[in-house]
């Protein structure tokens, strides 16, 4: 049975980790530069100041899975609090990117002094876990075109820029990246993106993606 595309929203105001974290080192990465990998393990929690970061995993079969894309004001690298060597993650700059980084050990020390920092981080990563569960449900139950539509809406809401006409503008995402996220082939993504464009749900080029979110949401509801 197909999933109902309900966006997971917090039921109460969430604590902001940045209210309890001090300013730290600012790092800069060019497009395609590796931030960390299994061969270059890390011990930091990262915050995206500008740009975009792609985090991937490699399956036992050798295929690449896109864990997620992270944009401005989003944290990543939380595996540093456990054992990053077990995460088998690779983080790369998807475009020119600046980050702020805190050593996981320093964050743990701060939590002793500022307990609300622990609450803020738990809320942030708990919300992320709920969104991941929703994504897994869609992967197991929905057709590829519906999975793609839900993923585009999610990226638009997190990474896009709302416009006065109701559309949302996003930086471009290649069909290969979308295929890794949705769990299918690039060729099928190209086919479905062309269909969505023909039907007026989006526009795309090498410069941007323009998504008509309300129309695409209605399409998702109609295809439940």
Per-residue pLDDT reduced to its tens digit, 9-67: 555 677 899 999 999 989 999 999 999 998 888 899 999 999 999 999 877 776 778 99
Q: What does the pLDDT read at residue 5? A: 47
Mean per-residue pLDDT, 203-208: 94
Q: What does the pLDDT read at residue 61? A: 73
Q: Give the global pTM.
A: 0.87
Q: What does the pLDDT read at residue 151? A: 96
Q: Tell me the pLDDT band of 201, cut-offs 50, 70 and 90.
A: very high
Rounded distance, CA 9 to CA 131, Å? 9
Q: Which domains does the chain have, with CATH numbers?
A: 21-113 (2.60.120.10), 143-222 (1.10.10.10)
Per-residue pLDDT reduced to its tens digit, 65-121: 899 999 999 999 998 998 766 668 899 999 999 999 999 999 999 999 999 999 999
Tokens of 212: 């008509």
């Amino acid at each position: 049975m197909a999933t109902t595309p309900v966006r997971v929203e917090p039921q109460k105001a969430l604590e902001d980790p940045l209210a309890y974290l001090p300013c730290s080192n600012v790092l800069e990465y060019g497009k395609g530069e590796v931030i960390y990998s299994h061969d270059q393990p890390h011990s930091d929690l990262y915050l995206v100041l500008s740009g975009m970061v792609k985090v991937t995993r490699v399956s036992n079969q050798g295929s690449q899975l896109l864990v997620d894309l992270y944009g401005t004001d989003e944290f990543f690298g939380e595996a540093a609090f456990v054992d990053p060597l077990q995460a088998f993650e690779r983080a790369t700059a998807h475009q020119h990117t600046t980050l702020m980084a805190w050593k996981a050990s320093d964050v743990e020390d701060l939590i002793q002094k500022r307990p609300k920092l622990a609450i803020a981080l738990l809320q942030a990563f708990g919300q992320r876990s709920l969104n991941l569960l929703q994504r897994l449900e869609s992967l197991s139950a929905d057709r590829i075109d519906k999975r793609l539509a839900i993923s585009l809406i999610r990226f638009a809401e997190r990474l896009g820029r709302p416009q006065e006409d109701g559309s949302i503008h996003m930086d471009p995402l290649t069909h290969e990246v979308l295929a890794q996220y949705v769990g299918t082939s690039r060729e099928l993504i190209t086919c479905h993106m062309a269909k969505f464009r023909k039907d007026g749900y989006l526009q795309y080029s090498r410069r941007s993606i323009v998504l008509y979110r309300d129309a695409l949401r209605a399409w998702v509801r109609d295809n439940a």
